[in-house]
Chain A
């Protein structure tokens, strides 16, 4: 990029837009916000186009020492690139979703959203530990205001809960960061990613980071802020919350917990598995009985995030790649589903499932889009959801077949609640006259839905476009994790007679394991079989 600080530019554009929005009239504010987010999206495409796949691990780096050990250090790898793309892609859609539905204090609303965009991109680009923390935590302020000012009836409670839960998680992480910097003398994240902390210290550090990311993710049992926040937030707030903010938790695990504390990660993986399994089953069952559409989708988000966490702690390439695709896919699909709920909420001002019914008759286009996103959420082949979940579960199967069994059950439950939702809203008789009189999608809504649908299908049919930039980074992470990789229960044990097919597919485990439990002894039987 010839030294053009594109990442700083991406941070600056929404920030400038936000300042202008504060002082603009409603109409002008909408326009400014749209223009700023579209410019950022264009910059994002430029970023992707210029990203050198297979090149240096950290690209577009910027470095400027600021003060007291702080650095303005930015830079991205493939993982960050994909999450930035997700953010800049969703932002114009969010602005579009709020075009008519927000009619009070528009300038401040748009300013809060643009501020949010700056902070989200900042989280994914920061290469300085404390810069990351500032971006990570500063996001609380605009989100608190978005939920509290423009949210639903119970917004105050939800905004407090969101703020305080996340703050408590983050401050513990701050202490851990201070300790790490004191220990290593650097705030540079890439350096820290290759620093070997003492195993005893890793435990505490891991737990502190876990406190923060588990709340952000969110994992059971600290997920309760999410349904409240989602239900009360305005549509665009839910989209950004589900689409990007939740991904910060997963990003945090990938960027900090796993590479910085591999031994502790392996040691605590039972905790992650246990919490994730509970999350997948329990929240799926809870979703099944929801009467509020947004709440249902919110609980389904928690369930999907359960798949993300088990995939992350599978300690292998499939698991990590699958996790990344699940995160991207969930960002799009959950965002689209919330957008879909917003479409009918704008018309009828209720999210109660019972108030609708037979919408496929009067809103056929809408029903079609919603069907696609429902299928993607369920994980139907051909949609983005399938790719991610399949890879993640294939990864986790190498570690524990029991966890896989439970998580797969969760996916079946997922199909149950999503299809049940779809049936109640779109099929059946048109029992409510006002719901039956709703018009189909207008052009603005149609274009937002179509954009999301196109990407969901693209990711489902040709995920390689999205996996390619991340491949070398995930390989690097996998190599870093190799020394702590746990042995799976699905591995062949000495004396067992494997099927030939399985032998062909078995990855060569011997070269990775160094200090982990001894690799399975060579199997004399197989050699004879060849």
Chain B
């Protein structure tokens, strides 16, 4: 193990941290005037990082050569896949931000820097193969996220969201840490591979508690039921670009982390956590769907929708097979496209004064004068509901296929039947936009960056997205194999 090799493997994280610090200095000297330039630089940094991680994914990197710092960190195809999704989602939330903040208070230079640090934390999370690395990544991400949630200091809702997120997030971190300490205490090691070896001989009661507490802490981070309560409030209160970020990047990171913990560290005791995951998955699907029905605010609705989607992703985890892991990654990729698209569309809904329209009722009859925007949003809604031929169907399809292949037919049947409940509220949005009499609230125009992002997202989830399935499937397969090929 030489240091040069390790440092080469963590190149994206180095680039992120160094450029983050430099940009922070720039922000300190140049002030908020440079906010736009810093945003552009941050997007460029993310693009650079994407180039750094892409080869590992394309080569299907796995095994000992990908391990850095004596087993604390792994830059394999799996982490590369997750990182690419995280970078894409973060870049999208950087691109949509200036237009949003300009109207409220003026863009602040800290926003892109906080996003960069959050992304750095997430990069460490998805590459972590040691409990200590895991916790550092998670906290780095979370601390940046707390500040981002409260970014509009003068807005009560934003402050409330930040505080709520912080208090509950700290609690979850405590639970996670407690679980980690139990796991360490009963297995004698913090490395995932070591934990797995230690659990091979059997599962002591203490280690079982460790697993349960760790999964509980992670369930909070992915906002799975029953640890989802914070999600609607935080999503509603946070500035919309931040909500978009929360709903996409940290979700991918936390799910990838959950996958690595469950499938690498606790692989030998799959039976112990599988039933927990099955319960959490079904509960998330059902609660997410039922909770969304009564919502009047579209951001709250999308929050419940994200809870619902996490449930579907977890069905792939319940399978505990490489197919299941690959299916989860495919689902996550499609989910990121749908979420980014949905929030960009929400950002484009403005009234005559340029203020954001968030009440669902105000969307009534939107299809009359904003045809393309409405069509895109309707497509995203049908896609989230999993109706073919839209691409969202494919995500559900692979996940349920993996569940059926793992003989979890009943889980798949209940999960998919519950998805019909979810279809109801997605349909409600389509109904309001197409069937109702126009409310003529949404009249504001939006800039080309939003339109371009929405067009890309809509193109990805349209039936044309199926052209990507082969590449996406192959990459996810490579990533999943790398995940199962731990050392």
Where the two chains meet, the residues of A that have a C-beta atom closer than 8 Å to any C-beta of B are 66-68, 70, 130, 133-134, 137-138, 140-141, 144-145, 148-149, 155-156, 159-160, 163-164, 167-168, 171-172, 174-175, 178-179, 181-182
Contact = CB atoms under 8 A, between A and B. Distances in A.
Contact of A182 (B401, B413, B424, B473): B401
Given A149-B434, A163-B427, A172 B413 contact: yes
B389 A134 contact: yes
B229 interface: no
**How would you classify the secondary structure of chain B's contact residues: helix, strand, loop or mixed?**
helix
Given A171-B417, A171-B420, A179 B409 contact: yes
Given A134-B393, A148-B435, A163-B427, A178 B387 contact: no
B423 A167 contact: yes
A160 B420 contact: no
Contact of A175 (B393, B412, B420, B435): B412
A156 B431 contact: yes
Given A160-B424, A175-B400, A179-B409, A149 B435 contact: yes
The 4 closest A-B pairs by CB, nearest first: A134-B388, A67-B470, A67-B469, A178-B404
A137 B387 contact: yes
B404 A182 contact: yes
Contact of B412 (A160, A178, A181): A178
Given A67-B466, A148-B434, A171-B416, A133 B424 contact: no
Contacts of B398: 68
A178 B412 CA distance: 10
B473 A67 contact: yes
B440 interface: no
Contact of A178 (B401, B423, B424): B401
Contact of A172 (B382, B389, B416): B416
A527 B405 CA distance: 57
Contacts of B382: 141
B431 A159 contact: yes
Nearest to A119: B389
Contacts of B400: 174-175, 178
**How would you classify the secondary structure of chain A's contact residues: helix, strand, loop or mixed?**
helix
Interface string B383-418: 000011100010001101100110001001100110
Contacts of A137: 387-388
Given A66-B466, A67-B469, A160-B424, A138 B389 contact: yes
B396 to A, nearest CB: 9
Contacts of B389: 134, 138
Contacts of B388: 133-134, 137-138
Interface string B72-108: 0000000000000000000000000000000000000
B404 A145 contact: no
Contacts of A178: 397, 400-401, 404, 412
Interface in B307-346: none
Nearest to B404: A178
A68 B435 contact: no
Interface string B366-395: 000000000000000010000111000100
A15 to B, nearest CB: 10
B416 A182 contact: no
B419 interface: yes
A163 B409 contact: no
A360 B267 CA distance: 79
A134 B394 CA distance: 10
25 contacts: A67-B470, A68-B398, A68-B473, A137-B387, A137-B388, A138-B388, A138-B389, A141-B382, A144-B430, A145-B430, A148-B435, A149-B435, A155-B435, A159-B431, A160-B424, A160-B427, A163-B423, A163-B427, A164-B424, A167-B423, A172-B416, A174-B397, A175-B413, A178-B397, A179-B404
Interface in B434-452: 434-435
A138 B462 CA distance: 12
A178 B327 CA distance: 14
Nearest to B410: A175
Contacts of A141: 382, 387
Contacts of B420: 164, 167-168, 171
B209 to A, nearest CB: 35
Nearest to A166: B420
Interface in B120-148: none
B402 to A, nearest CB: 9
A228 B438 CA distance: 25
A268 to B, nearest CB: 18
Contacts of A148: 431, 434-435
A181 B389 CA distance: 20
A72 to B, nearest CB: 11
A133 B396 CA distance: 14
Interface string B457-487: 0000000001001100100000000000000
Nearest to A148: B435
A171 B388 CA distance: 11
Given A149-B435, A179-B404, 10 more contacts: A68-B473, A134-B388, A140-B387, A160-B424, A160-B427, A163-B427, A164-B424, A168-B420, A178-B404, A179-B409
B62 to A, nearest CB: 22
A179 B406 CA distance: 10
Contact of B387 (A67, A70, A138, A159): A138
Contacts of B466: 66-67
Contacts of A179: 404, 409
A270 to B, nearest CB: 24
B435 A156 contact: yes
Contacts of B430: 144-145
Contacts of A140: 387
B230 to A, nearest CB: 30
A160 B429 CA distance: 12
B477 to A, nearest CB: 10
Contacts of A138: 387-389
A256 to B, nearest CB: 17
A164 B413 CA distance: 16
Nearest to B420: A168
A339 B258 CA distance: 58
B460 to A, nearest CB: 15
A145 to B, nearest CB: 6
B423 A164 contact: yes
| Centre residue among B435, B466, B469, B470 by max chain A CB count within 10 A | B435
Nearest to B421: A164
A175 B410 CA distance: 9
Nearest to B385: A167
B409 A174 contact: no
A496 B389 CA distance: 59
A138 B412 CA distance: 21
B406 to A, nearest CB: 10
Interface in B279-312: none
A134 B393 CA distance: 9
Contacts of A133: 388
Contacts of A149: 434-435
A163 B426 CA distance: 12
A175 B404 contact: yes
B434 to A, nearest CB: 6
Contacts of B405: 182
